[in-house]
Amino acid sequence: MNFIRKIVSPAKKEDEGFYYELKKLLNFSPKKINYYKKAFTHRSLKLKDKKGNPINYERLEFLGDAMLGSIIASYLYKKVPKGTEGYLTQMRSKIVSREHLNELGKDLDLIQFVKSNFDKELVGNNIYGNIFEALIGAIYLDRGFNYCKKFIYENVIIPYVDIPKLEGKITSYKGLIIEWCQKQKKQYNFEVYEDSGNENVKHFSVKVSIEGSLVAKGRATSKKKAEEQASKRVYFALQDEITKT
């Protein structure tokens, strides 16, 4: 027990449970546990250190994003020797997409470690991906590049990266529709407008027209989501035509 307390620096008994759970999650022994505590601290707590710097996961998220991107890029470069720059960039984007990172964070149940001032039952999806990246940043600062790479291989690349499946995965229906319209020299238009209706939460609606004809509509709580929803409907409405080209 004394040995464990020396590892968990500073030696706090309340950190021991967190240490054991973290070790089980990481599949290796963390050394400086404060990095990990910071990785799971939400800014809603408004914590600051002695110098007045904020204590939350956002800076670690930035670092983890960079580490994840570089390790995935290195993997793809070696795995697909004939891949062009554009192909490799697209494949990396699919692996580190916000949607995928959110799924990874959920699979690892990272929300259980988060300290915040909000109800975890009402949390948005993006926090899962954010804390997943922050955790990677903490691993890098605590144990260095090789442990960071090991964690990413065990939790991202080995279980989830399937090159043939990724090649057929669509990450942006809007981007696909725009690209198809441009190649086919078709005029397109995304008409976005606020549509709150009788709800308290603001919604946005989108109409997508091609060659002056309305093809599909979408509605969501953000412009981006509404555009993506409408674009997905356009894709399935014109799928036969789009996949031929």
Same domain, 134 and 18: yes
pLDDT band of 24, cuts 50, 70, 90:
very high
Residues 179 and 227 placed together within one structural domain of the fold:
yes
For residue 78, give both structure tokens. Answer: 């070696």
Amino acid (one-letter) located at 47: L
Among candidate residues 137, 166, 195, the one where a domain is terminated: 166
Output 3 or 176, whichever has higher pLDDT: 176
Half-sphere exposure of 126 (CA within 13 A, CB side): 4
Report pTM: 0.72
Final residue before a domain boundary, out of 166, 181, 211: 166
**Are 156 and 180 members of one domain?**
no
Provide the domain count of the chain.
2
What CATH number corresponds to the domain at position 61?
1.10.1520.10
> Do 225 and 128 share a structural domain?
no
Least confident range from 21-35, 174-188, 195-209: namely 195-209
Tokens 């929300």 locate to 111
228 and 115 in a single domain? The answer is no
Do residue 155 and residue 224 come from a single domain?
Answer: no
Same domain, 207 and 160: no
Q: Residue 44: which domain range? A: 2-166
CATH of the domain at 208: 3.30.160.20
Residues 148 and 65 in one domain: yes
Pairing, β 188-194 against β 213-220: unpaired
pLDDT of amino acid 98 = 87
User: Is pLDDT of 47 > 50?
Assistant: yes
If asked whether residues 70 and 89 sit together in one domain, one would say yes
pLDDT band for 8, please (50, 70, 90 cuts): very low
Residue 122 confidence (pLDDT) above 80: no
CB 136 within 8 A of CB 152: yes
* Cα 245 to Cα 12: distance, rounded to the nearest angstrom: 63
Residue 11 pLDDT exceeds 70:
no
Mean pLDDT rounded to a whole number for the chain: 89
**Residues 158 and 197 occupy one common structural domain:** no
Residues with a catalytic annotation lie at 65, 133
Residue 55 in this model has a pLDDT that exceeds 50: yes
Is 13 in the same domain as 91? Answer: yes
Is 181 in contact with 215 (CB distance < 8 Å)? Answer: no
How many CB atoms are closer than 10 A to CB 245? 7
The residues near 245 (Cβ < 8 Å, ≥ 6 apart) are 180, 183, 184
Q: Which of 166, 187, 219 is the last residue of a domain?
A: 166
Assess whether 116 and 234 both reside in one domain.
no
